Every structure is written in structure tokens, then in C-alpha cells.
């Protein structure tokens, strides 16, 4: 009997295994991944091919790749419901990425703000070509699975537009091959900013000590970082777009994302209280989220063979779909099929 096909719309997303996953990754991505997994056919990958667009230490990359996959599961991704896999385990990603790279106009690539930002910090001559071609690889990730929806933050919207444009170009030149994906706008996706610099997005590869709370941070350390978060010299605790008040707004945003309460309820909860109270409450709710996540993480890392078996099943499920799409694309573009 044929296996029942999953008729739910497909979702695909990924996070790079560079640096340590932060509460920003959790509140901005992982939490939504978990919430949508029963309504969609979800593919969540650890994008190690993207990670090497910056220099990585080999042992560290291997360790982070496993750690990231384990965090996906500890955060609530159920590997019996969703497909969890490592990008480099499915060679079709690299193969389709090359085909797409060849079709991607330099003009489009040069316009990508992520490329402009990242390359601005390096000497022109030494920027790896992978950084420029990064969006074509991301397009391959998405198009291989005919993903209809891609949950990503605002900073990745441009890459998704690029993916659609490239898919359209391929379809136009070679015939309908790829599904055009859309951004999945999360219900309550939070954009968490750096605790030490609340006008920049919280980053997992920022070195400074009080910048980010990592999901695997020791709980007392996590609490300390929140207590040290930058605020301002006002008193009133309310949501605000003012640059000056970005620190308090960030703490409130974290509180809202964790508790799911409305802005009005949160503002009235904090009415008449001080920044110390705000930080304490934010720290309490963050710690209450991290504690069970870390418990599950430790448990599954201690179960010999468990993570590897999840990644093996994930690879098989992902490869079956990706290889079909790759084959079709290769045939369309004119590659001689091997006999
Ligand atoms: N570029 C994404 C980021 O940095 C990560 C990513 C790679 C991704 N491939 C993807 C996200 C495919 C969604 C779908 O956040």
C-alpha cells in the first residue's frame, strides 16, 4: 500500500549552527515552528552549508550542528510530526544551489541588504563568494521541498522575495518546476534586540558577555544578563517605538512573547512599578521557559543514539522529496540522465 501522503501545506525553515542559539531565536522562530507543526507539513533544517559562509572551526561546527538539532527538539519540535534534518546530509541542496547560482543575476545578489551589511565589515578582496551566493542556497532549501510557507523574520523577507523571483525565472525559462513560497507571518513573533544594545537585533554570534541570553545558559547567568540589560532614565514602563526607550521596549517584548499576554494587560501589570521589578519579572518568565527546555535537552543528549536516529530518519524523509525535485530540475535544464 502506498504511504498516505501528507496533504497539509508544507513549511520549511532553518537556522545556522553558528554561535549559540539565543532567546531571540526561540521567541522569534522556534516557538512559532512548534506552534504550527500540527497544522502544516513541517521541515526544519540545521543549515550548516550556510554556516560556512563565515569561517568555522570544524569540531565546533560539528558540535553546534548536533546541539542545534537537539535544541529544536527540546524546544518542542516533535520529530514524529515534523522532519528535522541537517542541510548537508541532503546533497540535493548543494546541487540545486549551483543551478540557481548560475541563474541568479549579480544585480539581484548585490542588492541584498544582508550581503551589503556583512560584506561591509570585511575587506572587499577577501569576501568569500559564498556570502554573495547565500540567497541562491537558501532558495534551493525552500524550492526543493515545494514549501508554500516559510516562517522567517523581517530580515529574511528580501531573501524570500529573491527565492520567488528566481523560481519564477526558472519556471519561465524551463517550464513549471517550482512552487512560489510566501513568508509565513507569525501570530506573535518577537524581534528580540540585544540586551546591551537594544537597537540591534540579538545575535547568536555577538561576543560581548551581556548581549544575549543563550538557550543553554546557566539559569543564574541568564538571570544576571537580564538584570543588567540596558534601559533608560525614564520611569514609565510602556511599549514604545522611541529609540531612546528601546531597552525597556525590548524587555516588554520578551515578556509579551513569553507570557502571551496583551500589551494593555502587561502595561497595567507594570503600572507604578520600577525597572528593577520589570527586569525581575522578565528574568522569572525567561528562566521558567529555559528550565524545562534545558531539562529536555540534557535528557535527549544523554540518550545514546537518539539524536542520530532522529537525524537519520529526517535525512531519509527530506532526501526522498529533495531528490525528486532535483531530478525534475536537472531534466528541465537539460542534463543527460545517467543510465
Ligand atoms: N538565511 C536564514 C537566516 O539566516 C537561514 C536559512 C537558510 C533559512 N535557509 C533557509 C530560513 C530556508 C528559512 C528557509 O535566518
Write out pLDDT tens, residues 62-86: 999 999 999 999 999 999 999 999 9
Residue 212's pLDDT is: 97
| CB within 8 Å of 231: residues ≥ 6 apart | 247, 248, 251, 275
Within 10 angstroms of residue 87's Cβ, the number of other Cβ atoms is 23
Q: Are 170 and 177 in contact (CB under 8 A)?
A: yes
* Residue 303 phi, psi dihedral angles, 5° rounding: -85, 105
Residue 5 predicted with pLDDT over 70 = no
Give me ligand 1 centre to Cα 254, in Å.
22
> Annotated catalytic residue: which of 8, 118, 224, 317?
118
Give me ligand 1 centre to Cα 301, in Å.
25
Q: What confidence category does residue 1 fall into, taking pLDDT thresholds of 50, 70 and 90?
A: very low
Q: What confidence category does residue 207 fall into, taking pLDDT thresholds of 50, 70 and 90?
A: confident
Residue 54's pLDDT is: 93
Q: Name 22's bridge partners.
A: 214
What is the average pLDDT across 130-135? 96
pLDDT digits (tens, 9 = 90+) for 83-123: 999 999 999 999 999 999 999 999 999 999 999 998 888 88
201 is catalytic: yes
267-278 per-residue burial string, b: 16 or more CB within 10 A, e: under 16: eeebeeeebeeb
Give me ligand 1 centre to Cα 236, in Å.
37
* C-beta contacts of 103-110 below 8 A and 24+ residues apart: 103/166, 103/169, 103/170, 103/173, 104/133, 104/135, 104/136, 104/162, 104/166, 108/135, 108/162, 108/165, 108/166, 109/133, 109/135, 109/136
| CB within 8 Å of 289: residues ≥ 6 apart | 23, 26, 258
Indicate which atom in ligand 1 lies nearest the CA of residue 12: 14
Q: Are 185 and 167 in contact (CB under 8 A)?
A: no
Residue 122's pLDDT is: 85
pLDDT digits (tens, 9 = 90+) for 272-302: 999 999 999 999 999 999 999 999 999 999 9
pLDDT digits (tens, 9 = 90+) for 156-192: 999 999 999 999 999 999 999 999 999 997 666 688 9
Residue 189's pLDDT is: 67
What is the average pLDDT across 144-165? 95
Residue ranges lining ligand 1, Cβ < 6 Å: 12-14, 16, 47, 50, 138, 141-142, 150, 152, 156, 159
The two most distant CA atoms of the chain are separated, in Å, by 76
pTM: predicted TM-score of the whole model, two decimal places: 0.95
Higher-pLDDT residue of 155, 196: 196
% of the chain exceeding 90 in pLDDT? 89
Residue 86's pLDDT is: 98
Amino acid at each position: 500500500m502506498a504511504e498516505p501522503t501528507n496533504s497539509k501545506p508544507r513549511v520549511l525553515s532553518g537556522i545556522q549552527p553558528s554561535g549559540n542559539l539565543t532567546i531571540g531565536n526561540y521567541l522569534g522562530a522556534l516557538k512559532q515552528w512548534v506552534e504550527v507543526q500540527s497544522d502544516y507539513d513541517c521541515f526544519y533544517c540545521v543549515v550548516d552549508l550556510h554556516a560556512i559562509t563565515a569561517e568555522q572551526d570544524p569540531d565546533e561546527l560539528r558540535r553546534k550542528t548536533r546541539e542545534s538539532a537537539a535544541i529544536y527538539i527540546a524546544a518542542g519540535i516533535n520529530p514524529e510530526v515534523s522532519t528535522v534534518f541537517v542541510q548537508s546530509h541532503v546533497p540535493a541542496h548543494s546541487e540545486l544551489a549551483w543551478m540557481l547560482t548560475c541563474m541568479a543575476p549579480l544585480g539581484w545578489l548585490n542588492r541584498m541588504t544582508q550581503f551589503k551589511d556583512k560584506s561591509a565589515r570585511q575587506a572587499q578582496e577577501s569576501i568569500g563568494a559564498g556570502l554573495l551566493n547565500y540567497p541562491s542556497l537558501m532558495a534551493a532549501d525552500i524550492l526543493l521541498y515545494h514549501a508554500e510557507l516559510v516562517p522567517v523574520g523581517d530580515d529574511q523577507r528580501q531573501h524570500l522575495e529573491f527565492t520567488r523571483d528566481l523560481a519564477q525565472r526558472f519556471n519561465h525559462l524551463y517550464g513549471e518546476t517550482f512552487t512560489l513560497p510566501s513568508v509565513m507571518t507569525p501570530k506573535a513573533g518577537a524581534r528580540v534586540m540585544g540586551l546591551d544594545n537594544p537597537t540591534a537585533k540579538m545575535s547568536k554570534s555577538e561576543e560581548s558577555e551581556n548581549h544575549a541570553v543563550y538557550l543553554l545558559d546557566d539559569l543564574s547567568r541568564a538571570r544576571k544578563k537580564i538584570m543588567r540589560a540596558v534601559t533608560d532614565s525614564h520611569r514609565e514602563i510602556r511599549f514604545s517605538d522611541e529609540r531612546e526607550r528601546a531597552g525597556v521596549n525590548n524587555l516588554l517584548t520578551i515578556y509579551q512573547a513569553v507570557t502571551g499576554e496583551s500589551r494593555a494587560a502587561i502595561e497595567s501589570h507594570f503600572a507604578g512599578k520600577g525597572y528593577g521589578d520589570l527586569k525581575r519579572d522578565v528574568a522569572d518568565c525567561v528562566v521558567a521557559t529555559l528550565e524545562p527546555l534545558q531539562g529536555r535537552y540534557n535528557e535527549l543528549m544523554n540518550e545514546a543514539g537518539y539524536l542520530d536516529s532522529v537525524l537519520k530518519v529526517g535525512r531519509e524523509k527530506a532526501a526522498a522529496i529533495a531528490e525528486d525535485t532535483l531530478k525534475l530540475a536537472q531534466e528541465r535544464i537539460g542534463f543527460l540522465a545517467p543510465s
